Amino acid sequence: MHLTPVNERPKLTHLLLLFIGFTLLFSLGNQTLPLIDRDEPRFAEASREMLQTGDWIVPHFNAAPRYDKPPLVYWMQLGCYRVFGSTGGAGAFAARLPAVLCTAMSCVLLAMWGARLGGEKIGMRAAIIYGLCVQVFVHGRAAVADPPMVLFTIAAAWAGWEWLQHPRRFVAALIFWISLAMGFLAKGPIAWVPLGMVGWAFWRTYGIAKEEETRPPGWFPMLLGSTLMLGIVAVWGIPALLRTQGEFAAVGLGEHVVGRSLVSMEGHGAKNLMGYILTLPLYFITVFPSFAPWSFWLPAALRFHWRNPSPANLYLGSGVIITFGIFTLSRTKLPHYTLPCFPFLAVLVACWWEENRNVKLCRNVALATVAVFVLAPVVLFGPVRALSVTEAMVRELAPVLKADTAVALVDFQEPSLIWGVRGVVNGYPEVIGVDRVSEWLALPGPRVCILTEEASQKIPGTWPQTRALGWNFAKGKRVALIALHSNS
């Protein structure tokens, strides 16, 4: 089946059920699962420090500026902290809530756009396919910047399509440029993929009539819209650049955008030319587990659309090609980097499904996937919490840690540990060398120094201690931690 715009609107009750259903699905167990990956506690802690300091411009992690990402996700998490709190299980739930709501809203937007492109059935099916794939299960609940970025990517892509079809629709153009700005504030330039989609369609003028009243947007509206987009970003960006003497752009864009494209960062990607060449097809392989269970039918759907092009599937396909092209050429690689194009893949598969597979199969696959997605948090999240070494250490230190306790870290400085400790103490954990531990513990006031068991054996003298054993999930290693207490 071709994607032929029919301009249908899904029933409001269907959209409401979609939003509530995915919100509940991706909220399940979020208060139980600790913030164990490095990115989640970094975002969560930076948002908590933003709440505590009142500095909404420059995010900080453990009192040091964090330039990795723009501020939108921090602002969203900050708002959730005000409602649910920022410590313990409630804090983890609140930190993940923006991702949950953005993912659920992404499914709603996809259902609405899909209905306009091919009818309500295709729209609802596209939303279900997107919401029930493995990569969305992982990142749709994660306390990171990807879910809001994907939400505004969908909004911008849809608005851009509407603007191209009806250039005199001012509202579509306005939503397009505002969504691009908000997407940038979520995760930087990758949110501008829809700009490439619109630019490509504008250049080729696919599906755009040439009559006067429906002529494609000219260069002046593009220039005006770009000015609006950059102006919105500048409301935050200019104060941030002035406050940091340009460091935010140098690190946030120079290192984390340009740098990731040119070199392998944090061990994610090949370090030499031969390795880089060998990893070029990586995303064409990882898309299968990431887009599962629907990836089983993905090759047939893409082959069909390639052989039967239409303006709509060419537009969606351009988003897939741009996304895969950018990250295939990038030196730093992680499986979730191609997530922004998954909504486009979902619409293409949903359209293909209409004539090539029956509705019962789609329903059965969806129900089986929901069962797995419900069962996984119930079965896995509790044991993960029990096995986490940082959770174990914070739990063991509960009788010792107080608001005024000074904390030092030696050779174990995982963000998850900083997040856990900062949920109790008012100060910021200090990083010190093993040679300073005895001197630091001898200073006045209650003090706790956390280090690995191996490092603790190098500390002279006898100090009260607490031991915790568990897994450092960020490195996939079993670790024994020792917390040395001062005698104060």
Q: What is the pLDDT of residue 206?
A: 45
Q: With residue 222 as reference, give the H or E element that holds it.
A: helix 219-243
Q: How far apart are CA 93 and CA 99, in angstroms?
A: 10
Tokens representing 313 are: 């599937």
Residue 162 has pLDDT above 60, yes or no: yes
Q: How far apart are CA 288 and CA 278, in angstroms?
A: 18
Banded pLDDT at 394 (limits 50, 70, 90): very high
Q: What is the CA angle 153-69-177, rounded to 5?
A: 35
Long-range contacts of 181-185 (CB under 8 A, 24+ apart): 181/228, 181/229, 181/230, 181/232, 181/233, 182/72, 182/148, 182/152, 182/232, 183/148, 183/149, 183/152, 183/153, 183/156, 184/70, 184/229, 184/233, 185/70, 185/71, 185/72, 185/232, 185/233, 185/236
Closest C-alpha among 379, 415, 392, 382 to residue 470: 392
Q: What is the pLDDT of residue 251?
A: 78
Lowest mean pLDDT among 109-118, 195-204, 344-353, 365-374: 195-204
Q: Which is it for strands 447-452 and 477-485: parallel, antiparallel or unpaired?
A: antiparallel
Q: Which CATH number fits domain 389-485: 3.40.50, 3.40.190, 2.60.40, 3.30.530?
A: 3.40.190
Average pLDDT over residues 114-140: 94
Which 3 state secondary structure label does DSSP give 18? helix
Lowest mean pLDDT among 79-93, 188-202, 275-289, 343-357: 275-289
What proportion of the chain, given as a percentage, has pLDDT over 70?
91
Q: Which residues contact 41 (CB under 8 A, 6 or more apart)?
A: 35, 143, 414, 415, 416, 418, 419
The position carrying tokens 């609802």 is 124
Closest C-alpha among 22, 19, 67 to residue 46: 67
Length in residues, the chain: 488
The position carrying tokens 């995010």 is 59
Q: How far apart are CA 466 and CA 483, in angstroms?
A: 5
Residue 91 has pLDDT above 80, yes or no: yes
Helix, strand, coil proportions of the chain in percent (round to 5)?
65, 5, 25
Q: What is the pLDDT of residue 164?
A: 85
Banded pLDDT at 487 (limits 50, 70, 90): low
Torsions phi, psi for 478 (to 5 deg): -85, 130
Q: What is the pLDDT of residue 335?
A: 86
pTM of the model: 0.93
- Whether residue 236 contacts residue 185, with contact meaning beta carbons closer than 8 Å, is answered with yes
Q: Which residues contact 220 (CB under 8 A, 6 or more apart)?
A: none
- Whether residue 169 contacts residue 163, with contact meaning beta carbons closer than 8 Å, is answered with yes
Lowest mean pLDDT among 82-96, 112-126, 209-223: 209-223
* Residue bearing the bigger pLDDT, 358 or 77: 77
Residue type, 18: L
Banded pLDDT at 176 (limits 50, 70, 90): very high
Following CA atoms 220, 344, 108, 10 in sequence, which dihedral angle do they give, to the nearest 10 degrees?
90
Banded pLDDT at 357 (limits 50, 70, 90): confident
Q: What is the pLDDT of residue 437?
A: 92
Q: What is the pLDDT of residue 269?
A: 56
Is the sign of the CA dihedral 415, 417, 422, 423 positive or negative? positive
Q: What is the pLDDT of residue 2?
A: 57
Banded pLDDT at 272 (limits 50, 70, 90): low
Q: With residue 302 as reference, give the H or E element that holds it.
A: helix 298-307
Q: How far apart are CA 293 and CA 305, in angstroms?
A: 20
Q: What is the pLDDT of residue 280?
A: 82
Q: How far apart are CA 60 and CA 429, in angstroms?
A: 13
Q: How far apart are CA 218 and CA 210, in angstroms?
A: 12
Banded pLDDT at 257 (limits 50, 70, 90): low
Q: How far apart are CA 100 and CA 162, in angstroms?
A: 27
Q: In 44-80, which positions are buried (b, 16+ CB within 10 angstroms) versus exposed (e)? A: bbbbbbbbeeeeebbbbbbeebbbbbbbbbbbbbbeb
Q: What is the pLDDT of residue 208?
A: 45
Average pLDDT over residues 254-271: 53
Lowest mean pLDDT among 141-155, 162-176, 336-350: 162-176
Banded pLDDT at 103 (limits 50, 70, 90): very high
Closest C-alpha among 157, 76, 79 to residue 116: 157
> Helices (DSSP H) in 357-481: which residue ranges?
359-376, 382-387, 389-396, 415-422, 437-441, 453-456
Domains of the chain, residue spans: 12-380, 389-485
Banded pLDDT at 271 (limits 50, 70, 90): low
Q: What is the pLDDT of residue 207?
A: 45
Average pLDDT over residues 176-186: 96
What proportion of the chain, given as a percentage, has pLDDT over 90?
70
What's the mean per-residue pLDDT of the chain? 89
Tokens representing 407 are: 């904390």
Average pLDDT over residues 303-321: 92
Q: What is the pLDDT of residue 183?
A: 96
